[in-house]
Amino acid sequence: MIAIHETTPFDDQKPGTSGLRKKVPVFQKPRYVENFIQSIFDSLAGYRGRTLVVGGDGRFYNREVIQIVIKMALANGFGRVIVGQGGILSTPAVSHLIRKNEAFGGIVLSASHNPGGADGDFGIKYNAGNGGPANEKFTNAIFERSKAIDRYAIAEIGDVDLDEIGSSEIEGMTLEVVDPVADYAALMETLFDFDAIRAHVRGGFTIAFDAMHAVTGPYAVEILENRLGAAKGTARNAVPLPDFGGHHPDPNLVYAKELYDLMMSPDAPDFGAASDGDGDRNLIIGKDMYVAPSDSLAALAANMHLAPGYKDGPVGIARSMPTSAAADEVAKALGIDIYETPTGWKFFGSLLDAGKVTICGEESAGTGSDHVREKDGLWAVLLWLNILAVRKESVAEIMRDHWARYGRNYYSRHDYEAIDAAAANKLMDDLRGRLDTLSGQMFAGLAVAQADDFSYTDPVDNSVTEHQGIRILFEGGSRIVMRLSGTGTEGATLRVYIERYEPKDGHLDLDTQAALSDLIEAAEAIASIAKRTGRNAPSVIA
């Protein structure tokens, strides 16, 4: 039985960097989820009878929303819904299932690295038939529709069983409940040399993987422990919990501090890694060697030919604008193109679809390749493991060798989280207004060479995206970037990205914050961050 319900619009359903993210109580408002899902469906054309993939990271409210999505997919005419058992699917696994099953699209329920629980965050994101996040044009269309919506359609049926694997028919629609891990693990086996990694592990190589009580737990247990033979317990915090055990499932040096401390201790295993809420981010730490995400992208691009799935090396590399230019040095050496996109994985989709790039990465701990259209945390871990198994060197040796070949991009991001939104917008607006005057001025002893507001023209579809972050470039190649996050749910988050290039014959072993101290001072001098935000220090330094 299909019911059409009347509704009225909400005015705040504008998708951000990665879908719609809000606090759980916002999503719990009557009709809030239904309105957004119907706005997605109303913005699509030609999906009748086709397949929709649905899954989430298991956070609080996941199961309830999945039931709504399934009932609305049925009412709106989808022919088949594929859902992960228990409603669980990592974001890269959704991307893979969409592609493998030639689905029309998919819906990912996650607020990624944001905290979960009844008062935590929730999110809904639409992925298109290429497996990737919907592009800006489509997310704008969803927002426009959400402002005018006046009805939604839903099947009036009882809740469906999400826990038993198998296929069933519900009022003419097929529902397939699938093992969340199986297809993804099989894909990984086609890309990496599992025999080599297994042999390396058998030879005594040890791993600690922190799943942060989020979605990658079952994936890591199956792949690292069952298939690659790592010891039981290699995957820590491996049971997904609706509130992530009360922690913040963000694999950075603040929220994955326990892993960091372990890796810096005398008992450190050879390799440490973590992933986030929905399994698309990664943190890589060797014994006594933290690998910054921008450096990880560069090192992976330089070494990926060692994995069977990438034996010809990358055809091109893409990175988001705030990501350091370490990968640019690799592209230069390989004689391939490097693309600089706005923040957001959705901007990599057209480049991957057009075959212009093989590997993409972001400073925000995301790396991935053309195997799916999302960043992929465990993929990055496995590529590192494959490289380590072949080179038989430590992470620290590989990174030192990398800097000695390409030079080092000292890099750090300073986040000011949950600051007053009006103050944050004013800071950015004022800075934007001064851009023309900055060039030639000195701050903390550094001369500004150029300042602009990043604008991107997609080389494949020629779409233009403006106001993607303020860049202040200094004489000598250092830079500061400032932008407001598009994923927060509380006030605003100011991100300050700081970078300095040190040539290969320079000082390659400095402490990062020390190496950047004059630029940090310059950022404060340029934007008066402390005065305007009321914060004397960033909340997170990554």
Catalytic residue annotation: 112
In the complex with ligand G16, which residue's Cβ is closer, 358 or 367? 367
**Is position 112 an interface residue for ligand G16 (rule: CB under 6 A)?**
yes
**Helix, strand, or coil (residue 4):** strand
Query: Quick one: which segment of 342-350, 442-450, 503-511, 525-533 binds ligand G16 (CB under 6 A)?
Result: 342-350
In the complex with ligand G16, which residue's Cβ is closer, 303 or 343? 343
Tell me the one-letter amino acid at 5. H
The binding track of 266-285 with respect to ligand G16, each residue x by CB under 6 A or -, is: ----------x---xx----
The tokens 């055809």 sit on which residue? 315
**Is position 216 an interface residue for ligand G16 (rule: CB under 6 A)?**
no
Contact status, residue 71 vs residue 157, Cβ threshold 8 Å: yes
In the complex with ligand G16, which residue's Cβ is closer, 212 or 262? 212
Query: Quick one: which segment of 67-75, 178-186, 351-359, 484-492 binds ligand G16 (CB under 6 A)?
Result: 484-492
The tokens 């940090």 sit on which residue? 520
**Is position 379 an interface residue for ligand G16 (rule: CB under 6 A)?**
no
**CA dist., res. 376 & res. 305, Å (int):** 18
In the complex with ligand G16, which residue's Cβ is closer, 137 or 507? 137
**Is position 18 an interface residue for ligand G16 (rule: CB under 6 A)?**
yes
In the complex with ligand G16, which residue's Cβ is closer, 289 or 492? 492
Q: Which of 487, 489, 519, 542 binds ligand G16 (CB under 6 A)?
A: 487
**Is position 39 an interface residue for ligand G16 (rule: CB under 6 A)?**
no
Contact status, residue 300 vs residue 386, Cβ threshold 8 Å: no
Q: Which of 59, 414, 495, 500 binds ligand G16 (CB under 6 A)?
A: 495
In the complex with ligand G16, which residue's Cβ is closer, 92 or 269? 92
**Is position 416 an interface residue for ligand G16 (rule: CB under 6 A)?**
no
In the complex with ligand G16, which residue's Cβ is closer, 87 or 123? 123
Least distance CB 362 / ligand G16 (angstroms): 4
Instruction: Supply φ then ψ for residue 178, to 5 degrees.
Output: -115, 155
Contact status, residue 321 vs residue 466, Cβ threshold 8 Å: no
507 burial type by CB count under 10 A (0-12 exposed, 13-18 middle, 19+ buried): exposed
Query: Quick one: which segment of 67-75, 361-369, 442-450, 460-468 binds ligand G16 (CB under 6 A)?
Result: 361-369
Least distance CB 417 / ligand G16 (angstroms): 10
Least distance CB 60 / ligand G16 (angstroms): 17
**CA dist., res. 380 & res. 348, Å (int):** 17
Query: Quick one: which segment of 134-142, 150-158, 190-198, 340-348 binds ligand G16 (CB under 6 A)?
Result: 340-348
List, as one string, the DSSP characters of 243-290. TGGGS----STTTTHHHHHHHTSTT--SEEEEE-TTS-BEEEEETTEE
Query: Quick one: which segment of 26-34, 251-259, 303-311, 479-487 binds ligand G16 (CB under 6 A)?
Result: 479-487
**Helix, strand, or coil (residue 529):** helix
**CA dist., res. 205 & res. 436, Å (int):** 54
Q: Which of 152, 345, 406, 410 binds ligand G16 (CB under 6 A)?
A: 345
Contact status, residue 181 vs residue 218, Cβ threshold 8 Å: yes
**Is position 113 an interface residue for ligand G16 (rule: CB under 6 A)?**
yes
List, as one string, the DSSP characters of 488-510. -SSSEEEEEEEEEEE-TTS--S-
Q: Which of 364, 367, 409, 489 binds ligand G16 (CB under 6 A)?
A: 364
**CA dist., res. 426 & res. 183, Å (int):** 47
- In angstroms, the Cα distances linking 57 to 66, 212, 454, 463 are 11, 12, 32, 31
Would you tell me which residues interact with ligand G16 (CB under 6 A)? Answer: 17-18, 112-113, 276, 280-281, 343-345, 362, 364, 366, 485-487, 495
